[in-house]
Each structure stands twice: as C-alpha cells, then as structure tokens.
C-alpha cells in the first residue's frame, strides 16, 4: 500500500466513515489513477472531466454511479490536497428523476404468504413491516426485537444513527416460531459458518418471493422499504413520522413518497366528471 493511500484511508477513518464507504472511495480514486497510469495528485481538471465522460460513454455507468465516483475524487482532493482547485468547476452529472417501484398491499401479502421458508418469511415481514434497509435487517440481533414495546431497534443504521421502528403483531408471531426453531444467538439471521446472513442472500429471497407471487415488476429488497413508506402515507400517517421511522436525515428524502401514493391519486376526480361541469 502506498503512503498516499494509507494517509487517505486514515483521514477517512478519522472522520467516522463506514468501512464500505472507505472501500468505495479508495477504489474510485485507484481506478482514476490506473486510467492515466499516474498519481491522482498529478491530474488536471480536463483529465478528470475526460475520465468522467469515459465512465458515462464507454463504461456505460449510470449518472448516479459516476457522481459517486466523482464525490470520492472530490473528497480525496479536499483531504489530501486542500489547496487544489482541480475539482472546483467539475459539475455533477444530471441524474434522471425516477419514482421508486411500489407494490400493492395485496402483492406484498402474496409474496409473504407464498414463502414457506420460515427464515425468508421473517426477513420479508421485517423489511416490509418495519421499513428496514436490507443491511439493517442483516445486522439485527435477537435483542433488537423488543416485543414488550412492539419496536425494532436499529443500531448504527445509515449515517451511524440508532432509531426505533415498528414491530407488527404478525411479524412477531412469525419471529417467535422462527426463534423457537433456530435459537439464534449472536445474529437474528445466520448464514454459513455462523456469520450474519448477507444482504445479497436476503435480496435473492425477496426476488424469489416476487417470482413465486407472479409479480413482473423489477423487485429487490429495497422495494419493500418503499412499500412500507408508501402504504403508511396512503393510510394517513404524517410525513415527519414516516421520516423518523425510515431514519431519513432530511424530510426532502421522504417527500419522494408523495409522488407514489396511489391511494390519494385514485381519489382524485377528473374535471370532466365533476358535478359543476356543464355538458354541451
């Protein structure tokens, strides 16, 4: 490992970034350096712009992914070369705005009902019924299921924040069956060699459940979190409460669910169908 890379990692660690974020930042700067065969400290603004375009046009990376790479490079220059102005005029790539995929309540229910594997059923019900991120679900321990308060405790979720979210009665009943059968100790969901079941395996469980339920939409684990938020909003739960349950820093992040609340849209009457319209 070069001295520069070690110093960059030390700077990121001292700022409390997660190991995954550190790994992604280091890899992004490494890829930039390999692209030109030189230290990133030697690069000029036009070379970084050229690399940005290469990622978009040749590597066919999404705008969001390119922006993440550029954020890593910005962080590198800010920490390692604070006097540098290399990144000053390099803009973010405009990301197309897309609303999240959301399933109906009946579709989610069908996914759960057709899942016979008790571990997978428990995972599906926690992702949907508690609005957990898949990584948060993977990190759960038995002590995080606080049945006396009907809460799920999320420790050090995204942004290294603790929070509480909902525990449904139906989920608790399934979890009790699961606990009696498997007697988990360190982690609630265990994979191979006693380690926590990985987020990738949880994602496959969700995809398989969607396939069994005959759902043709592109379903991944995070979709169930979208469903949790959207269905609460459609039921009349206030946006700030949903924000707190999801663990969003800003309510602006939560406001995306205002655009996918189908129940409110279904209640809107076309102007042509309103009683006040005078027919010719």
From first to last of its 280 residues, what are the pLDDT tens digits of the chain?
Answer: 789 999 999 999 999 888 889 999 999 999 999 999 999 999 999 999 999 999 999 999 999 999 999 999 999 999 999 999 999 989 899 887 777 888 999 999 999 999 999 999 999 999 999 999 999 999 999 999 999 999 999 998 776 789 999 999 999 999 999 999 999 989 999 987 778 899 999 999 999 999 999 999 899 999 999 999 999 988 889 999 999 999 988 888 888 787 665 555 666 666 756 665 445 4
pLDDT at position 105: 92
Smallest Cα–Cα separation from 8: which of 87, 109, 80? 80
- The span from the CA of 236 to the CA of 217, in Å, is 26
* Burial of 65 from C-beta contacts in 10 A (0-12 / 13-18 / 19+): middle
Edge-to-edge strands of the sheet including 151-154? 145-146, 151-154, 163-166
Strands (E), 54-177: 145-146, 151-154, 163-166
| Token pair 């604070």: residue | 82
Positions annotated as catalytic residues are 133, 158, 222, 225, 248, 257
Q: Which has the closest alpha carbon to 117: 192, 38, 189? A: 189
- pTM score of the predicted model: 0.74
Terminal CA-CA length for the chain: 80
Identify the CA nearest to 265 among candidates 237, 238, 233: 233
- Domains detected in the chain: 3-80 (1.10.150.130), 105-265 (1.10.443.10)
Distance CA 2, CA 26 (A): 12
Helices (H) and strands (E) in the chain, counts: 13, 3
């Amino acid at each position: 490992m070069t001295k520069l890379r070690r110093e960059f990692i030390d700077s990121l660690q001292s700022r409390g970034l997660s190991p995954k974020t550190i790994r992604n930042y280091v890899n992004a700067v490494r890829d930039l350096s390999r692209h030109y065969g030189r230290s990133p400290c030697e690069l000029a603004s036009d070379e970084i712009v050229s690399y940005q375009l290469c990622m978009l046009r040749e590597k066919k990376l999404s705008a969001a992914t390119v922006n993440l790479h550029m954020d890593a490079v910005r962080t590198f220059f800010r920490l390692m070369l604070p006097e540098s102005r290399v990144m000053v005029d390099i803009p973010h790539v405009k990301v197309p705005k897309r609303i999240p995929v959301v399933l109906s309540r009946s579709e989610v229910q069908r996914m759960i009902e057709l899942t016979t594997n008790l571990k997978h059923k428990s995972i599906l019900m926690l992702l949907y019924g508690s609005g957990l991120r898949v990584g948060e679900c993977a990190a759960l321990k038995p002590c995080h299921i606080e049945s006396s308060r009907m809460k799920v405790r999320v420790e050090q979720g995204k942004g290294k924040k603790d929070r509480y979210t909902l525990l449904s009665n139906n989920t608790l009943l399934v979890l009790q069956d699961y606990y009696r059968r498997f007697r988990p100790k360190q982690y609630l969901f265990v994979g191979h060699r006693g380690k926590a079941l990985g987020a990738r395996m949880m994602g496959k469980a969700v995809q398989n459940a969607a396939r069994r339920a005959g759902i043709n939409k592109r379903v991944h684990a995070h979709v169930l979190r979208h469903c949790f938020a959207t269905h609460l909003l459609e039921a009349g739960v206030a946006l700030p409460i949903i924000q707190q349950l999801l663990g969003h820093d800003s309510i602006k992040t939560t406001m995306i669910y205002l655009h996918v609340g189908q129940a409110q849209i279904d209640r809107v009457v076309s102007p042509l169908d309103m009683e006040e319209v005078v027919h010719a």
